[in-house]
Chains A and B, each alone.
Chain A
Amino acid sequence: MNPDGDPALLTILGARAEIDAGRLSAVELTEAVLARTQRLNPTLNAYLHIDAGGALEQARAADSRRYDQPLSGIPVCIKDMIDVAGLPTTAGAARWRRAPGQDAFAVARLRAAGAILIGKGHTNEFAYGIDGQNPHWGNCRNPYDPARMSGGSSSGPAVATAAGMALAGLGTDTTGSIRVPASLCGLIGIRPTLGAVPLDGVVPLAWSYDTVGPLARCVQDAALLLEILTDGEPPHPDVPASHRARPRPSPKRPLLGLRLGLVEQLLAVSEPYVETGVIRVAAQFESLGAEIVPIRFELLDHAAAIHQIVQHAEAARIHAPWFKAQQSYYSDAVRTRLEAGGLLPAGAYLAAQQARQLLIEEFTGMMRGLDAMLAPCTPIVAPPHDVEEVSIRGATHPLRVALLACVVAPSELACPVIATPIGRHQGLPYGMQIIGRPWSEALLLRVAAAAEQMLVEDRLAGPVGADGVHRVSRMSEKRHTPP
């Protein structure tokens, strides 16, 4: 059991060990999670709907079936953009809602694996936001400091998982909506390869970018959830074997043979403590056998423009069937984006998708000779609720621009990205992104596990240079260029 003695704070694997050993039942675990939820949800607002009765019924069934599935008895929180049979899907909207008769595909996989569904988690309105704020349902609050933002739009699953109101969460990530709350709440979050997890039963935001993925407290939990969500499918047959995870690490040098690119431009847009944190991890990765090389993308600065145009246009089209009747119920910010997106000329949308293809080609080329890339996840720790602007390196930025700064470009690429916590600043967590080729999740999880081990062993507080900055010891001074 964990030091606090509260089973709600166990990892999935830890809880399963207790259950399998007969020291904990699914009902006891679910009751512990519900008790924390009852105590904390009025403050943190992680759940929009709690199904205590349904959860206990599922837990009793798990106890009677003697835990025959990998998630038997494990309580999870489902973002309220994703259908759960018998519970309303509100998408965090004021008026729009639907009453699904069946689970979303991803939820069905979790349920079939034995998961206990505690309820529907908070989200930004229609997932069209990155801060966990919602004018209709109230703001979600960061468990490390409720006066600060949780990040979003998968705010509920993230906060529930971080605060012991679930052992894991299921979120969606269009522009960083799993990765940003994972970073601000100290969790592992996975944006899978585009298309790896089916989107049936998920309220869409933008077809070109929408993904469903897990939020978890440790890498092993995240890996288990991803395996269940993808039904253990092997990598795509079109991906050469050389691009897949290479299972030949030694225990002492688990990253031996990996060549990892460090995205310089995203370090430069982050606060110095985040930059230092990422460089510190890279330095430790070198000691575990990896080679670290700096990289720059010529087209990276265009990613935000591409993303805005594509997302505005696609979201407007998605909302068109009900927008006219419901427009007065939207928040001003989301309504304006949808209306403006509906007025974009087709040429602008097509140009953005062409530019996106150029960005993908640059990334594809850059990945030749690399196994994965490292970058900050958020350039700052969780900001206070009442700010509209934040300061980064002395310059003022709109909050939305700042929180999206590091996650937009990887969202363009259809590739998997893992957000993993790497440190804290003034007690607040921040994370790093590990970005790879499509279907390379296994390799990325291996890299994330190495970072997690360092955090556990507190090795990230390594040698500090005379200027107070942690250095990558042997990091190549020569920037990586594709062969």
Chain B
Amino acid sequence: MSELGLRLVQAGPAVAAERVAVLSEALAVLLALAETLEKLPLEGVAPAFGAPRWQ
């Protein structure tokens, strides 16, 4: 089982065993996308919650 799969199992009863493979793949895609964003200059940037700031 992949590391992601293990994390899903550790997530507890909210994730049914037969869903682990499907979710592992879906989560891996999202985490890969998040990694691409981490390469942006995010330091010091306040998140844009709700209606963002416009100058």
Binds B, one of A42-50, A131-139, A246-254, A352-360: A352-360
Asked if B31 is at the interface of the complex by the 8 Å CB criterion, the answer is: yes
Q: Are B23 and A351 in contact (CB under 8 A)?
A: no
Asked if B22 is at the interface of the complex by the 8 Å CB criterion, the answer is: yes
A414 and B40 in contact (CB under 8 A), knowing A340-B30, A344-B30?
Answer: no
Asked if B26 is at the interface of the complex by the 8 Å CB criterion, the answer is: yes
Q: Are A357 and B47 in contact (CB under 8 A)?
A: yes
CB interface residues, A 315-332, toward B, < 8 Å: 324, 332
Q: Are B45 and A358 in contact (CB under 8 A)?
A: yes
In the complex the two chains form, what is the Cα distance from A437 to B36 in whole Å? 28
Q: Are A305 and B37 in contact (CB under 8 A)?
A: yes
- A191, chain B: closest CB distance, angstroms: 14
Which of A305, A355, A360 is within 8 Å of B54, CB to CB? A360
Chain B interface size, under 10 / 10 to 19 / 20 to 34 / 35 or more? 20 to 34
Chain B residues near A358: list those with CB within 8 A: 40-42, 45
Q: Are A353 and B48 in contact (CB under 8 A)?
A: yes
- B33, chain A: closest CB distance, angstroms: 4
- A168, chain B: closest CB distance, angstroms: 26
Chain B residues near A65: list those with CB within 8 A: none
Query: How many residues on A have C-beta within 8 angstroms of the other chain's C-beta atoms?
Result: 42
Asked if B1 is at the interface of the complex by the 8 Å CB criterion, the answer is: no
A354 and B45 in contact (CB under 8 A), knowing A208-B50, A348-B34?
Answer: yes
Q: Are A357 and B30 in contact (CB under 8 A)?
A: no
Which of A208, A309, A337, A344 is within 8 Å of B49, CB to CB? A208
Total number of A-B contacts with CB less than 8 angstroms?
A: 106
Q: Are B30 and A308 in contact (CB under 8 A)?
A: yes
Chain B residues near A356: list those with CB within 8 A: 47-48, 52
Q: Are A360 and B33 in contact (CB under 8 A)?
A: no
- A233, chain B: closest CB distance, angstroms: 15
Q: Are B15 and A339 in contact (CB under 8 A)?
A: yes
Which of B19, B27, B34, B54 is within 8 Å of A352, CB to CB? B34
A350 and B47 in contact (CB under 8 A), knowing A339-B23, A343-B23, A357-B52?
Answer: yes
Chain B residues near A345: list those with CB within 8 A: 31, 34
Q: Are B19 and A312 in contact (CB under 8 A)?
A: no
Q: Are A337 and B26 in contact (CB under 8 A)?
A: yes
Chain B residues near A336: list those with CB within 8 A: 22-23, 26
CB interface residues, B 12-46, toward A, < 8 Å: 14-15, 19, 22-23, 26-27, 30-31, 33-34, 36-38, 40-42, 45-46
Asked if A235 is at the interface of the complex by the 8 Å CB criterion, the answer is: no
Question: What is the 8 Å Cβ interface bit string for chain A, positions 416-451, against chain B (1 contact, 0 not)?
Answer: 000000000000000000000110000000000000
Report, nearest first, the 8 A-B pairs whose CB atoms are least far apart. Answer: A353-B47, A348-B34, A305-B33, A340-B26, A357-B48, A354-B42, A356-B48, A354-B45
